[in-house]
Chain A
């Protein structure tokens, strides 16, 4: 998946090797942990501002999330964790999952593993994406869904809220169902599911 030739210096490379497009929209950076060598492409939206406020449950207004409550300095809550060599494509949206629990609407952390690929325009609200997970183009992963390691979400799939996708399974459709399994060699370096390092290398080269 070679990205389009970008303008020179489109990507900012951090100390840990993250390549982040200048045109991406990242909110609440202090609540986001990137594991290093993560790629965030242009127009991707990462909502680190939607974090859990344990002490002040009502301060995070779901209707107006762009105005986050002032984070209490003692408890730095993490909204989004992304592992190494993960790749957030163009216009993808990462949003922490939320749930109405005991009458209180609160956000939960979104954990993304290593070597994860999030396709173009995908919306991820999962509770966790495991390692080597592939989320196809235009797919939507519903709130609190759990996608286990080596799972494959096909393009355009809508994973319903709360769904658990077991390892090695391919899900697709609206709502998503398990439609197959990936081969045993999935995720081997350089083969399907193991292209993360190559994807990372290609990004931002002149």
Chain B
């Protein structure tokens, strides 16, 4: 989502701190070259840290002169966030961006029916809604359950039912599927698509179980060959019995059969000492570990070391592959591909009959044609709690219910850092040029013509905040725009009770008194804040947009060969995309006196007699002012 002008982004300081790992942090502090461009904003209060912070401060002063935040640097992309996306950790006293948090899933829910799915069901449902929610396989729009019977009046509606897409008008009738009931569509669909599944599954399970039972007392075959031969024989018999009648299994059933088959394979080829466990335990049991370990040790030379008591096997165990359909074997039909090609070429299929790559990506691997596409159960979404990566404190914890929009914990940065808003100043006051249209079009700023921008910072804390703003005099990048903050140091009042303000009869918001201020305040003056309210302060930024490289305003050297000149301009424009976007990096330093009740151990330089601790926070923000016109 790119935002319309004017916008403000805030840079999370984490981009400059290497890794939120205490050991790493210590190291970076010791080596000044690698240390972050900005110190951790909250300065610690212990003695040792005070020393460090002084060093840092010095270093910052040194570095600040060379290094300012460059919104155009490729790395800035990763640290700039809109203010509402940032969180704030009260333990670390730092801004936290999506990169410096970890997430935990609180609940799963279906975005379509907004029902919560219990975590135990999520896996078995394949992370998809188990109810009636489906997406269209053609266009991904949600499908609606509707009847094909045209019932009028108040009689009970009855099926057959279909799923239909309201967007592309696809219905399940297109693939020949109807439902008997309007509820529990997913299980109905599952039954339909693998009609053979339960039977085949049972059969294969039975088969493997009988195999296991049969084999178990005989598992001490003299050699593997004998064993596998015997099983092959058995398998062949089974295959002969089943194959002609058995319809092809569905993918799920085949997967289950294969899984079963390999499980029995592993249990049978592993050491016979653990073999009797195989019927009771699956892979995820301690017995399985034993089995696997013995599998490895028996086949390697180490068996002499670890399995010394047993005599080494003559041959390593050999696992065979699935041989029958009941074990999950699927033989590709003989002229499968030629059939497919013939179908592709046939006039009734054509391009429209083919499933696109996007459509196939969500379907079974052998779905090639539009007819093969099945309705997709809706993927579940999650509600997630967020933790600070470095101190593990919970920053955001939503309520579990999918419908609820409330949070149990929500530490957003906007409650701590002042909310920046940007607005061009309508220059009705400019006495020199009264004829000029007062509103500035932010999408085409005239180069070299000064404009004034009102930057309002609104404090959401209950303590008054002192702010220092700083900008590089000239914006980084190829377009040198001059920026001056007319009153870089000011104070913002506390976010006190709204009634205080109402009783005092002050201005309620910065916007309401726009006209008044424009008339009364006249020209923006250096060193004076433009306007001030209960918990907000507005200052003026004077901006002189630079000229774009290659534009006529810059050079003015009448190049006779205009064609090449144009090409140059084009090349420049192509090489530096969005070069004309005027973004101003502003360094914000804020400090305030906070109650020290949370950390009483801290008695540092900032502590005051009345249990107040001076806290500091510093960060870069980027003001997106507008686009500069290519020429005058």
Q: Do A and B bind each other?
A: yes
A interface residues with partner B (beta carbon < 8 Å): 1, 5, 102-104, 142-143, 148-150, 154, 158, 160-170, 175, 177-178, 180, 182-188, 190-193, 197-198, 201-202, 205-206
Complex: chain A residue closest to B402, CB-CB: A166
Q: Are A185 and B114 in contact (CB under 8 A)?
A: no
| Bound Cα distance A201, B79 (Å) | 33
Give the 3 A-B CB pairs with smallest separation, nearest first: A183-B85, A185-B84, A161-B166
Task: Give Cα distance in the complex from A192 to B347, angstroms.
Answer: 53
Contact indicator A160/B515 (Cβ below 8 Å)? no
Stretch at the interface among B257-265, B292-300, B406-414: B406-414
**A150 and B515 in contact (CB under 8 A), knowing A177-B140, A191-B83, A191-B414?**
no
CB pair B140–A184 under 8 Å, yes or no, is no
B207-237 toward A: CB 8 Å interface, digit per residue (1/0)? 0000000000000000000000000000000
Cross-chain contact B509 with A205 (CB below 8 angstroms): no
Residues of B within 8 A of A103 (CB): 150-153
User: A102 contacts which of B83, B157, B439, B511 (Cβ < 8 Å)?
Assistant: B157
Would A183 and B511 count as touching, CB distance under 8 A?
Answer: no
Cα distance A185–B113 in the bound complex, in angstroms? 25
Known A-B contacts: A160-B165, A192-B84. Give 7 more (CB < 8 A).
A169-B111, A182-B85, A183-B86, A191-B84, A192-B82, A205-B515, A206-B515
Closest B residue by C-beta to A104: B152
Question: Closest CB-CB distance, B170 to chain A, in whole Å?
Answer: 12
A-B contact pairs, 10 of them (CB 8 A): A1-B4, A102-B151, A102-B157, A161-B166, A164-B113, A166-B109, A175-B167, A188-B414, A191-B414, A197-B509
Contact between A142 and B405, CB atoms less than 8 A apart? no
The secondary structure that dominates the B interface is loop
Point out the residues of chain B lying under 8 angstroms from A169, CB to CB.
111, 381
Residue from B139, B142, B412, B414 within 8 A of A164 (CB atoms): B142
Contact between A102 and B152 (Cβ–Cβ < 8 Å)?
yes
Evaluate whether A184 and B381 lie within 8 angstroms (CB atoms) in the complex, with A102-B153, A160-B142, A164-B114 already known: no
Q: In angstroms, how far is the closest chain A Cβ from the Cβ of B378?
A: 10
Produce 1/0 per residue, B404-435, CB < 8 A to A: 01010010111000010100000000000000
**B597 at the binding interface (Cβ < 8 Å):** no
Taking CB atoms, residues of chain A closer than 8 Å to B112 are: 163-164
CB contact between A167 and one of B83, B151, B152, B405 (< 8 Å): that residue = B405
A161 to B86, CA, bound (A): 34
Residues A150 and B1 in contact in the complex (CB < 8 Å), given A183-B85, A192-B84, A201-B511 = no
Q: How far is the CA of A196 from the CA of B1 in the complex (A)?
A: 19
Chain A residues with Cβ below 8 Å from B410 are 184
Asked whether, in the complex, the Cβ of A190 is within 8 Å of the Cβ of B144, the reply is: no
Q: Is the CB of A184 within 8 A of B157?
A: no
The smallest beta-carbon distance between A4 and chain B, in angstroms, is 9
Q: How far apart are B146's CB and chain A's nearest CB, in angstroms? A: 9
Bound-state Cα–Cα, A169 to B113, Å: 15
B33 adjacent to chain A (CB < 8 Å) = no
* CB of A132, distance to nearest CB on chain B (Å): 9
Interface size on B, residues (CB 8 A): 49
Q: With a CB–CB cut-off of 8 A, which chain A residues contact B154? A: 102
Task: Give A77 Cβ to nearest chain B Cβ, in Å.
Answer: 20
Q: How many Å from the CB of A24 to the closest CB on chain B?
A: 23
Task: Give B176 Cβ to nearest chain A Cβ, in Å.
Answer: 23
CA distance A148 to B111 in the complex (A): 10
Q: Is B364 among interface residues, defined by CB-CB distance under 8 A?
A: no
Digitize B515-548: 1 where CB-to-A-CB distance is under 8 Å, 0 elsewhere: 1000000000000000000000000000000000
Which residues of chain B have C-beta atoms less than 8 A from A180's C-beta? 1
A85 to B43, CA, bound (A): 42
Which chain B residues border A104 with CB–CB below 8 Å? 152
B14 part of interface (Cβ distance < 8 Å): no
Q: Is B512 an interface residue (CB 8 A)?
A: yes
| Other-chain contact of A183, B82, B150, B166 (Cβ < 8 Å) | B82
Q: Is the CB of B142 within 8 A of A162?
A: yes
| Alpha-carbon gap, A104 to B113, bound state (A) | 25
Within 8 A of A (CB), among B32-84: 81-84
**When chains A and B are docked, how far (Å) is the Cα of A158 from the Cα of B421?**
31
Find chain A residues with CB under 8 A from B113 CB. 164
B121 at the A/B interface (Cβ < 8 Å)?
no
A180 to B458, CA, bound (A): 28
On whether the beta carbons of B458 and A190 are closer than 8 Å, the reply is yes
Closest to B423 in A: A2
Chain B residues with CB below 8 A from A187, complex form: 84
B570 within 8 A of A: no
**Bound: A96/B196 CA distance, A:** 46
Closest chain-B Cβ to A145's Cβ sits at a distance in Å of: 9
Check if B175 is an interface residue, CB within 8 A of chain A: no
Q: Are A160's CB and B166's CB within 8 A?
A: yes
- Nearest neighbor of A154 in chain B, beta-carbon distance: B1
Question: B111 is contacted by which of A149, A154, A164, A202 (Cβ under 8 Å)?
Answer: A164
B625 at the interface (CB under 8 A from A): no
A191 to B81, CA, bound (A): 13
Q: Taking the complex as formed, is B87 at the interface, i.e. its CB lies under 8 A from any CB of chain A?
A: yes
Q: How far is the CB of A62 from chain B (nearest CB, A)?
A: 16
B396 CB-CB contact with A under 8 Å: yes
Of the candidates A143, A162, A168, the one having the most CB atoms from chain B within 10 angstroms of its own CB is A162
Given contacts A169-B111, A191-B414, contact A186 B84 (CB under 8 A): yes
A79 vs chain B, min Cβ distance (A): 21
CB closest residue in chain A, given B378: A164
Q: Using CB atoms, name the residue of chain B closest to A178.
A: B111
B1, B83, B381: residue with the most chain A Cβ atoms closer than 10 Å: B1
Q: Indicate if the CB atoms of A166 and B419 lie closer than 8 Å.
A: no
Nearest A residue to B166 via CB reads A161
User: In the bound complex, what is the Cα–Cα distance between A205 and B139 (angstroms)?
Assistant: 45
On whether A162 and B166 interact (CB within 8 A), knowing A190-B419, A190-B458, the answer reads: yes
Q: Are B111 and A166 in contact (CB under 8 A)?
A: yes
Q: How far is the CA of A57 from the CA of B511 in the complex (A)?
A: 49
Q: Is B277 an interface residue (CB 8 A)?
A: no
For B109, what are the chain A residues with a Cβ–Cβ distance below 8 Å? 166
Cα–Cα, bound, A97→B114 (Å): 21
Q: How far is the CA of A5 from the CA of B438 in the complex (A)?
A: 11
B-side contacts of A161, CB under 8 Å: 144, 166-167
In Å, the complex CA distance between A202 and B426 comes to: 14
> B19 in the interface, Cβ–Cβ < 8 Å?
no
Please state if B152 and A175 are interface contacts (CB–CB under 8 Å).
no
In the complex, what's the smallest C-beta–C-beta distance from B412 to chain A, in angstroms?
Answer: 4
Highest count of chain A CB atoms <10 Å: which of B87, B167, B381: B167
Q: How far is the CA of A187 from the CA of B157 in the complex (A)?
A: 43
Q: Mark B161-172, 1 if CB is under 8 A from A, else 0.
A: 000011110000
